[in-house]
Amino acid sequence: MTDLAQDLLSSFLVAESQLNGSRNLGVVSLRKKAMDRFEKQGFPTTKNEEWKYTNLKPILKRDYRILLKGDDAVSFADINKYLLSDLDTYKLVFINGKYSSWLSESTHQSFDICTFAAALNKYPDVIGDYLGKAAPEGTTFVDLNTAFADDGAFVRIKRDQTVDKPIEILYLTTDENGPAFAQNRNLIVVEQNAEVQIVERHQNIGTQPNFTNFVSEVFADVDARMSYYKVQNDTLHASLVDNTHVVQERGSNVHVGTYSFGGKLVRNNLHFYADGENTESHMDGVTIINDGQTVDHHTLVDHREPNCYSRELYKGIYLGNSHGVFNGKVMVRQKAQKTNAFQQNDNILLSERAKVDTKPQLEIFADDVKCSHGCTIGQLDKNALFYLRSRGIPKKEAEGLMTYAFASDALEYVKIPQLEKRLNRVIADKLGINLEFAL
């Protein structure tokens, strides 16, 4: 057992009594059981097939503070640049895992946009109905999060409601705790025919290393619509394991976009469970990383009912000695006839030292389905480069133009123009090109 695992076990004993929901017996027993499973299982190593290409060892061998203090010294000026400042939004801001009411803008009108901790007390029945129902038991990071997470975003959009503006959820880490191990949790419930857009970000605003183990559970009821954008542009001190689990009922449409530009090690476990007919599940993303960075996308779409559609498009550009992983699993159960599942993972290596492991995984048990998948790893097309250069566009600009066009293709489904613009700017910035090129 690693030192960190030991620390977690002893911290759990200390924390158990302090955790929110202590009066909520259901939550207490969930936590205990989750911790028991963690104790037996420990952290995964590269011998585990799911972690074959991503070695956690360097991240786990560090000492972290587990029970974190908040930080009152953070001002709006410190965080403004991590928000969509040109857009009015609801805001849920957490500092070292603790909710910051003075930096946030929550609501209980028509819909609940508040905290997980508040909801534990205020809506114990909702928590009872949904908590732990999407994220599967028995996976290390989910169990660990279930055991420890005492706060995060709680979003419940009631039937037929459309949220009037996007919600921004910001998780910040400061130097207050030294190296910090943060575990927060979102619970997002979009009721029948309701609609919401969420932009989420984890950001280290200090100089100390940190590791975040995050869980987000999303429930999209009948005909619900949701866009969920994850902006990952953290510092090289920050590592993240994101576990996002989406359960979809009939006719619902959920898009999760993951834009990974930063962080030392980022692992995205994104799972969709299509539990009703005629659902649409969209997952896409852009990864642009450089020296010392790893981004690992592990996706699962579980088609359990007939007539559903899933679309998956991940683009990656790798510079320096960066390392990308894509593992996309599509499961089509016997009952899920007429499934239409599309998956594509395209990568460009701009450096000889960069590396990508990509693996599509299709398990199809129904006989009347349309499933396509593909992955490419390549350099820039030489013919296209020559074409641009022959028109007078210098080599460096031509390469920038082509990589930019390649990446921005995956932003097609971003519905918030301000966010799309901002992501395009980050992409241009990461590739060192002039934005004049944009369409």
Q: Is 40 in the site for another protein (CB under 8 A)?
A: no
Q: State phi, psi for 329 to the nearest 5 degrees.
A: -105, 130
Nearer to another protein, 103 or 431 (CB): 431
Task: Give the list of residues 6+ apart from residue 233 with CB closer than 8 angstroms, or none.
Answer: 201, 203, 259, 261, 262, 263, 426
**Whether the Cβ atoms of residue 305 and residue 338 lie closer than 8 Å to each other:** no
Residue 262 CB, shortest distance to another protein, in Å, is 23
| Per-position x/- string for 398-427, each x denoting binding to another protein as judged by CB under 8 A, each - no binding | x--xx-xxx-xx------------------
What type of residue sits at position 292?
Answer: G
Closer residue to another protein, CB minimum distance, 138 or 394: 394
Going through 233-293 in order, the beta strands assigned E by DSSP cover 238-248, 253-260, 265-274, 280-289
The stretch among 85-93, 261-269, 355-363, 388-396 that binds another protein (CB under 8 A) is 388-396
Give the nearest distance from C-beta 438 to another protein in angstroms.
7
Task: Say if residues 224 and 194 touch (Cβ distance below 8 Å).
Answer: yes
Q: Could you give the CA distance from residue 178 to residue 160 in angstroms, rounded to a whole number? A: 45
According to CB under 8 A, which one of 48, 63, 374, 386 is a site residue for another protein?
386
Q: Which stretch binds another protein (CB under 8 A): 96-104, 157-165, 289-297, 395-403?
A: 395-403
Residue from 389, 418, 420, 421 touching another protein (CB under 8 A): that is: 389
Taking CB under 8 A as the binding criterion, the range among 122-130, 149-157, 168-176, 386-394 that sits at the site for another protein is 386-394
Smallest distance from the beta carbon of 415 to another protein, in angstroms? 19
- In angstroms, the first-to-last Cα distance of the chain is 52
Q: What are phi and psi of 207, to 5 degrees?
A: -120, -5
What the block records as the tokens of 164 is 């009037």
The size of the interface with another protein (CB under 8 A), counted in residues, is 27
Considering the complex, what minimum distance in angstroms separates the CB of residue 388 from another protein?
A: 7
Q: Is 20 helix (H, G, I), strand (E, B) or coil?
A: coil
Helix (H) or strand (E) holding 402: helix 395-408
Q: Which is nearer to another protein, 318 or 404 (CB)?
A: 404
Q: Is 88 or 412 the residue whose CB approaches another protein more closely?
A: 412
Query: What element of type H or E holds 330?
Result: strand 323-332
| Shortest distance, position 314 Cβ to another protein, whole Å | 16
Q: Determine the Cα–Cα distance for residues 242 and 426; give it in Å rounded to an integer.
A: 21
Rounded distance between C-alpha atoms, residue 160 and residue 221, angstroms: 11
CB of 391 to another protein, least distance (A): 4
Footprint on residues 326-385 left by another protein (CB under 8 A): 381-384
Query: Least distance to another protein from the beta carbon of 439, Å?
Result: 5
Among 388, 418, 420, 421, contact with another protein (rule: CB under 8 A): 388
192-215 CB burial, b ≥16 within 10 A, e <16: bbbbbbbbbbbbbbbebbbbbbbb
For another protein, the closer of residues 147 and 402 by Cβ is 402
Could you tell me the smallest distance in angstroms from the CB atom of residue 427 to another protein? 11
Which residues would be at the binding site for another protein (CB under 8 A)? Answer: 381-384, 386-395, 397-398, 401-402, 404-406, 408-409, 436-439
